[in-house]
Amino acid sequence: MLLGFKAQFADLVERREKTQSIRARGDRFKVGGHIQLYTGLRTKACRKLVADDPVCLSVEPVVIHHHWMEVDGRRLLSTERIEMAHTDGFAGYWDFATFFADQQNHTLPWRGFLIKWGWP
């Protein structure tokens, strides 16, 4: 499967610091399947971010609210929310939640899938 990233996340993916992504349509990803990581999809600037494709480790449903977050039906602790935001490439949870609200006409909750990957 293919994942495209905005320019703001491309360096983190290339440095292998960002090893997860939250997407509206993650149910098409299969644990154990390879994922190709790109930036600039559908443009002349399209490029693959890592040469060796990582493997999908997990796909879990996620719900993002302004002040709380659920992953696979479990509400995350405050420290876990902050860690999730940092791992996903944001300065803090507020920036993270605001990003997802903006993806949905400035409203939350936002529902999607947390996709994690790694290299064998």
- The CATH number of residue 80's host domain is 2.30.130
Q: Residue 38: which residues within 8 A CB-CB, separation 6 or more?
A: 2, 3, 4, 5, 46, 47, 48, 49
110-118 and 55-64 strand pairing: antiparallel
Core vs surface per residue 64-102: b (16+ CB within 10 A) or e: beeeebbbeeeebeeeebbebbeebbbeebeebbebbbe
**The predicted structure's pLDDT at residue 81:** 96
Predicted model pTM: 0.92
- pLDDT for 74 equals 98
Residue 36 has pLDDT above 90, yes or no: yes
Specify the higher pLDDT residue, 98 or 54. Answer: 54
What is the mean predicted confidence (pLDDT) over 5-34?
A: 94
- Percent of the chain past pLDDT 90, that is, above it, reads 82
Number of domains, the chain = 1
Cα–Cα distance, 53 to 50 (Å, whole number): 7
Domain of 39?
A: 2-118
Instruction: Work out whether strand 47-48 and strand 55-64 pair parallel, antiparallel, or are unpaired.
Output: unpaired
Q: What is the pLDDT of residue 108?
A: 87
Quick check: 56 pLDDT over 90?
yes
Would you state the pLDDT for residue 103? 76
